[in-house]
Chains A and B, each alone.
Chain A
Amino acid sequence: KNQVEQSPQSLIILEGKNCTLQCNYTVSPFSNLRWYKQDTGRGPVSLTIMTFSENTKSNGRYTATLDADTKQSSLHITASQLSDSASYICVVADYNYGQNFVFGPGTRLSVLP
């Protein structure tokens, strides 16, 4: 069964600190892996998209890594800001025609002043 798992479930850090979120998946065949940020009550916003051949991709203070062999990905947030408080969702697309996504449960990040 195609699944995406994320850890931790929730995380609290102080403003200015770094953090790393984890994602493990069993989706096969694999097309690409995406990280989304979702503020409460709003739609997800894309942070990164990586194919199996990409190991690292950055978007400002967000850096995603992918190990397609071990089927693991991480999202590293540098110098966190209060506005980083949100849910971060790992999404894996199987090699199907279209946008058939398998979503992780998300990691709820709270950044405190």
Chain B
Amino acid sequence: KAGVTQTPRYLIKTRGQQVTLSCSPISGHRSVSWYQQTPGQGLQFLFEYFSETQRNKGNFPGRFSGRQFSNSRSEMNVSTLELGDSALYLCASSSGAGQMNTEAFFGQGTRLTVV
């Protein structure tokens, strides 16, 4: 069974640009959540999608957005990039059918560097 796949693995962008990251969940999983990991702030929850609907949202500005497609694949978009957006972006998938204790499986992450 293939794991969670994130593309690309590494990305370098310039301030002011926008970027789109992709996450393919484990087959059959309908929940995809996104996280930002930085040395200073640690892991922080961005948002979660379930069946193409945003189910939860963390405390990030509107420059961070996402969507989920009918095949459960998800994309995250960051517009008007700032230097502080440099981070490891992780996505996790779970069956997420409403149960609180379902296992979340993380991808390897996309390392975004803003210069």
Cα-based distance from A106 to B4 in the complex (angstroms): 22
Decide if A98 touches B50 in the complex (CB within 8 Å). Answer: yes
Q: Give residues in A with beta carbon < 8 Å to B.
A: 31-32, 34, 36, 41-46, 49, 51, 89, 91, 93, 95-106
Q: Would A97 and B33 count as touching, CB distance under 8 A? A: no
By a CB distance below 8 angstroms, the chain B residues around A93 are 100
Cβ–Cβ contact B106 & A99, under 8 A? no
On whether the beta carbons of B103 and A99 are closer than 8 Å, the reply is: no
A43's closest neighbor in chain B, by CB? B106
The tally of residues in B whose CB lies under 8 Å from a CB in A reads 29
Tally A-B pairs: CB < 8 A: 72
Question: Which of chain B's residues have a CB closer than 8 A to the CB of A95?
Answer: 100
- B109 contacts the other chain (Cβ, under 8 Å)? yes
Chain B 1-52 interface residues, beta-carbon cutoff 8 Å to A: 4, 31, 33, 35, 42-45, 48, 50
Residues on B with C-beta less than 8 A from A49 are 101, 103
Does B106 contact A44, Cβ atoms closer than 8 Å? yes
CB-CB under 8 A from B92, the residues of chain A are 43, 99
